[in-house]
């Protein structure tokens, strides 16, 4: 198992790195070149930079990810692609994307985009809270443990 993070706007990169290190799991941060940093990452963490184009990080993650890898993203489209490839996918607010919830999430996104195009105002996401951070940590640990228990880890 590897963990791929759609890292441009992810508020949970540090949690992912910390938890992955405890479980000896490699982490790949995929970022737009416009977010380039000279900061060194800890051992076991790789940063891959992609072009600034729309969905460039998503395409790169899908190119690299294998079944049973874990993807961390808030992008429903990437989540859907990851599920289709047999990956585990988590949102930074602490919930798992599943084959049972992805269609509803995509439909809601579509309807909101349609409303915005017609001039309606829609609410943005709620602020990321400490409670969200803790919920994510618990879900990440649970997902990793479950993956290890089922023996589906591809180290």
Residues 44-98 have pLDDT tens digits of 999 999 998 879 999 999 999 999 999 999 999 999 999 999 999 999 999 999 9
> Which residues span the domain enclosing 106?
2-149
Residue 89 in any domain: the answer is yes
Residues 96-138 have pLDDT tens digits of 999 888 888 888 866 777 777 888 887 777 899 999 999 999 9
- Structural domains counted in the chain: 1
Element (H, E) at 32: strand 26-32
Handedness of CA 14, 17, 22, 23 (dihedral sign): positive
Regarding beta strands 88-90 and 96-97, do their DSSP bridges make them parallel or antiparallel, or are they unpaired? antiparallel
Q: CA triplet 26, 27, 28: central angle to 5 degrees? A: 125
Residue 68 in any domain: the answer is yes
Residue 34 in any domain: the answer is yes
Residue 116 in any domain: the answer is yes
Residue 83 in any domain: the answer is yes
Residue 14 in any domain: the answer is yes
Q: What is the CATH number of the domain that holds 71?
A: 3.40.50
Residue 155 in any domain: the answer is no
Q: Is the pLDDT of residue 153 over 70?
A: no
Contact, 103 vs 84, CB < 8 A?
no
- The pTM of the full predicted model, rounded to 2 decimals, is 0.86
State the chain's mean pLDDT as an integer: 90
Residue 122 in any domain: the answer is yes
């Amino acid at each position: 198992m590897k963990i791929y993070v759609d890292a441009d706007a992810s508020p949970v990169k540090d949690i992912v790195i910390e938890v992955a290190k405890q479980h000896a799991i490699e982490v790949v941060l995929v970022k737009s070149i416009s977010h380039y940093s000279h900061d060194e990452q800890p051992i076991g963490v790789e940063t891959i930079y992609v072009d600034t184009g729309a969905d460039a990080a998503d395409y790169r993650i899908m190119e690299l990810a294998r079944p049973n890898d874990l993807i961390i993203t808030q992008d429903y489209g990437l989540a859907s692609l990851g599920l289709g490839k047999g990956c585990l996918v988590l949102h930074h607010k602490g919930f798992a994307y599943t084959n049972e919830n992805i269609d509803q999430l995509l439909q809601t996104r579509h309807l909101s985009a349609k409303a915005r195009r017609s001039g309606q105002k829609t609410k943005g996401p709620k602020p990321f809270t400490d409670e969200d951070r803790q919920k994510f940590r618990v879900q990440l640990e649970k997902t990793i443990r479950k993956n290890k228990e089922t023996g589906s880890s591809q180290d």
